[in-house]
Copies of this chain bind each other. A is one copy, B any other.
Amino acid sequence: MTRPVHRAAPATDTPIRQGSLRAHNLDLTFRQIVGARRAPISRSELATVTGLTRPTISRIVDELLAGGLIVEAGPARSGNSGRPRVGLNLAPTGPAGLGLDIRVDALSACVVDLTGAVRHLEFVPHTQRDAGPEETLRSLAAMATEANRAAAADGLTVVGATLAVPGPVQDGSVVRFAPTLGWRDVDAGAALRSRIGPAELPVLVDNDARLAALGELYASEQELRNFVCVSGEFDIGAGIVLAGAPFVGSRGWSGELGHVMVESDGQLCSCGATGCLQCYAGIQQILAAVPAGRHPGPAAARQSPAVVIDGLVSAGSPEILAALDRAGQALGIAISALVNLVDVDTVLLGGSYSLLASWLTEGIERELRTRVATSAWAPVEVRPAPLGPDAAVIGAALSAVDKVRRDPNSWLARVQQGEGGWPRQTA
């Protein structure tokens, strides 16, 4: 295979020398193994897809095996010859990511390994309304320490932690504005870093809707490339994925779908504007449509709002059906704006919406058909998000381990320096 000299060169701002050439080719090879999505791939297949020589591939594979990033698995996908070939796969031991999430009714923690498998998932009942940021962050830190211990017992090394929050985050640390939590300018990253050991463990904070979209991206068996995952939890947020990568906007504040106007002269929102989507399709707002006397008994207080709504629908509450209808239409208007502006072809209903999808989809689709300029020849698909309310915490864990997927060379350099991954274990 020869390539013409004038082929477009990789667009980077680094000159390429021998050392980085080695790193580049290792990176390229590793990405093929990541891209094979748990299907074992052989050394000869790697040589074919990368265009690198067999000896180069052999050297790289040895390096990846020694660094604990890959393992030899069962036979690779059948080739032309009858000879069985050894398949290579991502290592189920080795680097792992830790995710944390604040839900309406619980806190959750999650550990995901390099293959993307969930190895640990825990919930602790928690009512944010009664707890300040201090208490909530302390509880999250305790869960993180426990999850880290569980990961170590499974032979995993946690390489980073990410907290999902409902609102825009600055510098990967400060929650600027999360009205439904009652948080404003809370440096959640610093608070967690001071409590989760060791000091060198990277701890980041990110938007929950964006992390949920990342979770759904990895979980998608159909290899979704362009979609929005609309999460209804505390707030309504949109995680946008374009060309298989999360879309963050210029400052990481994209996807504030809950504050798109859907009603002229509408209700006053907690953000200070009127007629925001949040006022008509927020989970709490849907529930508020039911008169107090018709609410289910105290047993429901420990259930998630989506489960309560589902119960009310089953009981035939006309108020809840009307509220869901209005929510579906409002979601449809706002999502139409998103599709018109950002251009995605698939809408996943995530978070609590995944549990209520059968009551919301029709109204959303009706608005999309009417309002999306390109819908006549390119209809938008709407469906429930497979991971549902767990997507944000799984996505948070994935985002923490993803840096090893994207930059295997840094991990290998650490291992070679005898550091055994970024953080020393606390357990």
Binding site for B on A (CB under 8 A): 3-17, 19-28, 31, 50-52, 168, 176-177, 225-226, 238, 240, 242-243, 248-264, 266, 271-276, 333-334, 336-338, 340-345, 370-374, 376-378, 406-407, 409-410, 412-413
Contacts and interface: CB of A to CB of B under 8 A. Distances in A.
29 contacts: A4-B19, A5-B22, A5-B413, A7-B20, A10-B12, A13-B31, A15-B25, A16-B21, A21-B21, A168-B373, A168-B374, A176-B377, A177-B373, A226-B251, A243-B250, A248-B343, A256-B340, A256-B341, A256-B374, A259-B373, A260-B336, A260-B337, A260-B341, A261-B337, A262-B264, A264-B275, A272-B370, A334-B337, A341-B342
A374 B257 CA distance: 12
Given A177-B376, A238-B341, A378-B251, A16 B14 contact: no
A5 B20 contact: yes
A120 B252 CA distance: 40
A237 B24 CA distance: 41
A14 B3 contact: yes
A253 B410 CA distance: 38
Majority SS of interface residues in chain A? Answer: loop
Top-5 shortest CB links A-B? A249-B343, A9-B24, A226-B250, A6-B413, A10-B12
Contact of A262 (B261, B271, B276): B261
Given A242-B250, A252-B343, 12 more contacts: A3-B17, A8-B23, A9-B25, A9-B28, A168-B373, A243-B250, A249-B344, A256-B341, A256-B374, A259-B340, A264-B266, A338-B341
A364 to B, nearest CB: 14
B340 A260 contact: yes
